[in-house]
Structure 1
């Protein structure tokens, strides 16, 4: 796509999304990662927004539109989800592969540095990348996730992950996805439709989720020893991150405890936290109040007023 100038005709389209794809590689072959891009494609200031385990980059439409005059906002569908390819080998549905894909995406964007908004799994990917030497990540917001995940919440997710579910209509699929994500907060029917429609597709005569059900295989195969090793690696990564980190916790979250948040603030270099009342895992960032939390962190109050 040719970079466009800041001419008035383009300025009116800053808050309109563009659908793009980038080719990535795993040891099992090539795959495509889809991403939605907002704002001026020539803007070197990039915000990468990465979604949760079974979600899609379209979860960030409202936030992206709100930030599009300051950032080039890029919202990928992690491989195996949304409009992205499914992997040839499901054992590569793991954070190291997702980190590698994001490095490829950042190279496609042709920028040296990015800011990062990561919800749940997207935050784990962000920590994995941000903790590496010479990481491109500057500021990072972790939405209801940390190095330690509460076992009961992990078990809850495992109960539904990858299970075959078919729906008689798109609306039935939207409602079922809303039931699984009810801890996001008290969203309106229109808001559920907005963020859940991209998760559902018509296939083989029925409506079903877009994500590859095989993402459940490495999730289910994780042993206590593997989980402990992964957690230790994430704590090391968090401690190594040089830039500002904001941890956002839903007050009723069963995945991220207050104790973990306190430990993150203590062990990180520049980690702060905020808790959002009335929601669990994970805040949806659809409301103006929640978007303003991200705005103050990434842009600042002065920019908000301008």
Structure 2
């Protein structure tokens, strides 16, 4: 499952394909500091589907543009859509984790006619108020500056020890090393640009859009990730057709902490 590349809208995008080339398409969007490689361990669980796993802007093999505007939500959505058109995808299921989930929501809002089912893991439709967004932009700017100043290794040491990922410390060392290696493989300029362009403080709020989503939506959260359990609960009250599943003894990265349960939930969500 070697990484592939395609140039669309003036940017080189990395992606991977796996599964059944004639199967129903399933697009998987990774989180911040991840890449298409984040999903390769799960590919066998969805072997009957045609799996498309892009590297989001500034991550993996996708270019890291110099200007933060090129990472903005509308640009990410346009780049993905151009890639999907190139790959012949006109109707597909879309799964996104964390940052990838936010971008999946943005894509579904822009192109609802293309999404058959939407699966969102540990994510949000954005921040509700301008003040919340302002404070988050300030926080993300400090983190982006830290990445540029201290480099990818120092950032990774800091990032993997934030409370959001505390439950990962209970994982086997081999799993933790695989996650760490994926983070270290990213371009620090790309991660800084991602924070400044599509961080939660910069993206549009989609809370008022959720009521218009006509596709079935499955929300996946980990029981130990209380913040995102609550966010998903609020989302579930707005979405017309929704199933919210919370996985016991798991935190923010359910697909890493309990991949078997995660795969079972996703397969059920994708059934017609």
Give the shorter-chain TM-score range: 0.7 to 0.9
Find the residue that maps to 2:3 and give its secondary structure.
strand
Aligned to 2:28: 49
- Equivalent position of 2:180 in the other structure: 196
SS at match of 1:131: helix
Task: Quote the residue 2:242 is aligned against.
Answer: 271
**Kept after mapping to 2: 8 A contact 1:82/1:210:** no
Relative contact order, higher structure (CA 8 A, sep 6+): 2
Q: Structure 1 residues 86, 120: CA separation in 2 closer, same or farther (over 3 Å shift)? A: same
Conservation of the 8 A alpha-carbon contact between 1:184 and 1:283:
no
- Structure 1 residues 220 and 107, CA, compared in 2 at 3 Å: closer, same or farther? closer
- Distance in 2 of aligned mates of 1:146 and 1:296: 22
Distance 1:49 1:75 in 2: 5
Q: Who is 1:130 aligned against?
A: 108
Shift of the 117–184 alpha-carbon distance from structure 1 to 2, 3 Å rule, reads farther
2:5 aligns to what? 21
1:256 match: secondary structure: helix
Residue matched to 1:8: none
Structure 2 equivalent of residue 280 of structure 1: 251
Output the CA distance in 2 between the equivalents of 1:32 and 1:296: 34
Change (3 A) 1:265 1:74: same
Aligned pair count reads 262
Change (3 A) 1:167 1:33: closer
Give 1:248's match in structure 2, choosing from 220, 227, 231.
220
**What whole-Å deviation, never above 9, does each CA across 1:176-211 have from its counterpart, x for those lacking one?**
664356346332111122233233249xxxxx7584
Query: 1:113 and 2:97 equivalent?
Result: no
Distance 1:244 1:183 in 2: 31
Contact 1:184 1:279 in 2 (8 A): yes
Gapped regions of structure 1 (runs ≥ 5): 1-16, 203-207, 301-306
Unaligned runs of 5+ in 2: none
C-alpha separation in 2, matches of 1:133 and 1:243 = 11
Structure with higher Rg: it is: 1
User: Secondary structure of 1:82's partner?
Assistant: coil
Q: Quick check: 1:187 aligned with 2:171? A: yes
How far is the alpha carbon of 1:288 from its aligned partner? 1.3
SS in 2 for 1:267: coil
Q: For residues 127 and 222 of structure 2, what CA distance do their matches in structure 1 show?
A: 14
Aligned equivalent of 1:40: 20
The Cα offsets for residues 32-62 of structure 1, whole Å up to 9 and x where unpaired, read as 1101111233x25111000112221211112
Please report the TM-score for the alignment, with normalisation by the length of structure 2.
Answer: 0.82
- Secondary structure (helix, strand or coil) at the match of 1:64 reads helix
Q: Is the 8 A contact 1:201 1:209 kept in 2?
A: no
Distance 1:102 1:126 in 2: 10
RMSD between superposed Cα atoms in Å: 3.2
